[in-house]
Chains A and B, each alone.
Chain A
Amino acid sequence: MKGTMKNYIMASLLIPALAIGFTSCEDDDGGDLIQPAAESYAVTIDMAQMVDGAALMMNTDPNKPYTNASGQDYSVSRLQYLISDVTFNKVGGGSTTIEGYHYVDLDDTTTLTYSPATKIPEGNYESISFTFGFDEEDNVENAYSELNILNWNWPSTGMFGDLGGGYHYMRLEGKYDSLGKEKVFKTHMGTARNDNNTPVTFENNHLDITLANSAITVNSDFSFSLVMDIAEWYEDTYQWDFNVYNAPIMPIYDAQKRLNENGSTVFSIVNIQ
């Protein structure tokens, strides 16, 4: 996946078209009637973060308030991630997708609330799903200026640097205690480069997540909290060992795939209102 003007333009085409709020049907006289579609409502998503069910505390050094499944105490100093294509799946079929992405940086409180422009039609929905990171269609090299300026890119050139391109999905960083010595971890997630194949192959590593207990009836503006439990990145099912995967892990295929493996239990939904 190399950066070209062509795929920049392709990405531009991903910008959602304006929703058309009317449908056409025939009236009794055979003429066209324009009838309003079902009412649609605004959704506000609170981007929340926890560790083992308790609210995340950042920058607690020298204290390491958290312990992973390998018994290593750790603290968190940076958490940035992105979700995309939040989708409301209707009972009986059909769905509404909020095209686009939302970037979260815990150092920027304005990113902790996601208020997409797309409104959700009234109705009964059996679940809410979303993509953690970008899927293949949206993980387009260099396409998003807001992310480029944050150096959020996943490198794509050179012998060492070619990791398949696109963007980071997450940067989760902090410090941990290793046999009495303090070390850092950088849990960066993105495209997985498989060096075992010849030629090297790249696997998109996003997560398609359908939230449990996310059924909702939409008949007014509504909100919910999308909770990331950081502890889940490091357990269930792979028991993460910071001494094996501290930093750098971007070029390590197994680390990337294990994040993907553990990621299915990271997110939950609460406070649907």
Chain B
Amino acid sequence: MACRDDDDGGSQMVKQPDPTPVELEVPTHFFYVGSPFVPADNPTTEEGIALGKKLFFEKKLSRDNSISCSSCHNPSLSFNDKGNALSQGVDGTFGIRNAMPLFNLAWVPLTSGRFNWHGAAMSLEEQAFEPVRNQLEMKQSWEAAVAKLQADPSYPPLFNAAFKTTTIDSNLVVKALAQFERTLISGNTRVDKHVQKEVAGLDIPGGPFLTDQELRGYDLFVAEEKGDCFHCHGTFSNPLWTNNLFMDNGLDVNPDSGLAENTGRSADLGKFRVPSIRNLGYTAPYMHDGRFNTLMEVLDHYDTGIQNSPNLDPNLDPNAKPRNLTLQEKEDIIAFLMALNDSSFVNNPAFQP
């Protein structure tokens, strides 16, 4: 509550204005995947987004004030960690999995969706709790983090504007972070323009937007007898380019526990979140442990390197039908993937510190 003087010279309490609702800016062709999911208890607001952005770049969230969320999720790299397979936390310790890029997270279903490579969190809000207290990342208790924010005079007014309270708590911190993260929408690549004009039939200027090689790459991408990438990563009608599910892609005979770490199901052993194939030009190295430095290495894995892991996805078994992709075909697929780099997203001033 804020105070002001009234005409009598006394003071009275006035209500803090409600935060201003914000409708997420969704690219036109995203109607193919429906509206973004926003939880009823954390609506997106101007003030919440602004606070979330400030917190995203806030180093006070780490024990020694050395790193922020953006240290491992760099907006200029599609919110990925620059070239690092594993990210460095406080005191120089390293995490155990590759930092995931951040975009289009508002389309992960609210009730059934999971976040992180291994599906540890059931919501964006829940996900934001972990890095602060993780002993390989920010290494700080939430009590300490909140105390630092509360003592910083810039924060209470911002929390007041966003949540109508100057008393900061961790639940509000993660809510603000999640609001900001839901605004990270990537949908403005040449592939997107192609889909808008040639698939959705929208009236947009310009084109053709894809080269013959890129279109050949897409053809191989969706052909079950060739790349067969689409069963997990989608077609032109899924601009997310992921199914937001968890799959075992045959990296190791004895895999990392993956999703099973959180579900306890043996059938989930070795399953990891299917990443979007957007913005791959900014997010090397690849896979949950960053083992592949190039997209050619990734395609070589799917072509000839699949291991018979316990829950290997049937879409990938080389014993059924080997892919036998030629070098030219791999280059075509990579050309298509590179057309999914969204330079306007990584340069968006709204996402920069």
Contact = CB atoms under 8 A, between A and B. Distances in A.
A8 B200 contact: yes
A185 interface: yes
Interface in A174-213: 174-175, 181-186, 188
Given A148-B33, A184-B317, A61 B310 contact: yes
B107 A151 contact: no
A149 B107 contact: yes
Contacts of B220: 158, 160-161
Contact of A151 (B202, B234, B317): B234
Interface stretch (A37-45, A95-103, A227-235, A243-251): A243-251
A255 to B, nearest CB: 11
Contact of A248 (B199, B216, B228): B228
Given A108-B112, A159-B219, A185-B320, A149 B33 contact: yes
Interface string A146-176: 1011110101011111000000000001110
Name the interface size band of chain A. Answer: 35 or more
Contact of A142 (B112, B237, B244): B237
B208 to A, nearest CB: 14
Nearest to A2: B199
A183 B319 contact: yes
Interface string A246-262: 11101100000000000
A185 to B, nearest CB: 7
Contacts of A6: 201
Contacts, number: 129
B226 A149 contact: no
A273 interface: no
B321 interface: yes
B224 to A, nearest CB: 4
A251 B228 CA distance: 12
A174 B314 contact: yes
B321 A155 contact: no
A247 B320 contact: yes
A110 B111 CA distance: 11
Interface in A128-153: 141-142, 145-146, 148-151, 153
Contacts of A219: none
A246 B218 CA distance: 24
Interface string B213-229: 00110111111111010
A78 B232 CA distance: 13
A142 B223 contact: no
Contact of B311 (A2, A5, A77): A77
Contacts of B310: 61
Contacts of A186: 314-315, 320
A151 B231 CA distance: 6
Contacts of A4: 199-201
Contacts of B267: 58-59, 77
B34 interface: yes
Contact of A3 (B112, B231, B236, B266): B236
B219 A148 contact: no
A246 B314 CA distance: 10
A184 B309 CA distance: 12
Interface in B181-217: 199-202, 215-216
B76 interface: no
B34 A146 contact: yes
B199 A161 contact: no
B232 A151 contact: yes
B290 to A, nearest CB: 25
B222 A158 contact: yes
Contacts of A110: 112
A59 B321 CA distance: 22
B135 interface: no
Contacts of B199: 2-4, 142
Given A5-B201, A145-B33, A158 B238 contact: no
Contact of B314 (A153, A160, A173): A173
Contacts of B228: 248
B84 interface: no
B319 A149 contact: no
A227 B284 CA distance: 46
Contacts of B266: 59
B243 A150 contact: yes
Contacts of B60: none
Interface string B95-117: 00000000000010000100000
A247 B314 contact: yes
Contact of B225 (A146, A160, A175): A160
A95 B320 CA distance: 45
Interface of B: 31-34, 107, 112, 199-202, 215-216, 218-226, 228, 230-238, 240, 243-244, 266-267, 308, 310-312, 314-315, 317, 319-321
Given A157-B222, A160-B223, 6 more contacts: A5-B201, A108-B112, A149-B240, A161-B220, A173-B314, A181-B319
Interface of A: 2-6, 8, 58-59, 61, 77-78, 108, 110, 141-142, 145-146, 148-151, 153, 155, 157-161, 173-175, 181-186, 188, 246-248, 250-251
A-B pairs with the 7 shortest C-beta distances? Answer: A158-B219, A160-B223, A248-B224, A145-B34, A184-B317, A142-B237, A5-B201
16 contacts: A5-B202, A59-B267, A59-B311, A108-B112, A142-B32, A148-B238, A149-B107, A149-B240, A149-B244, A151-B231, A151-B238, A161-B220, A181-B319, A183-B319, A184-B319, A247-B315
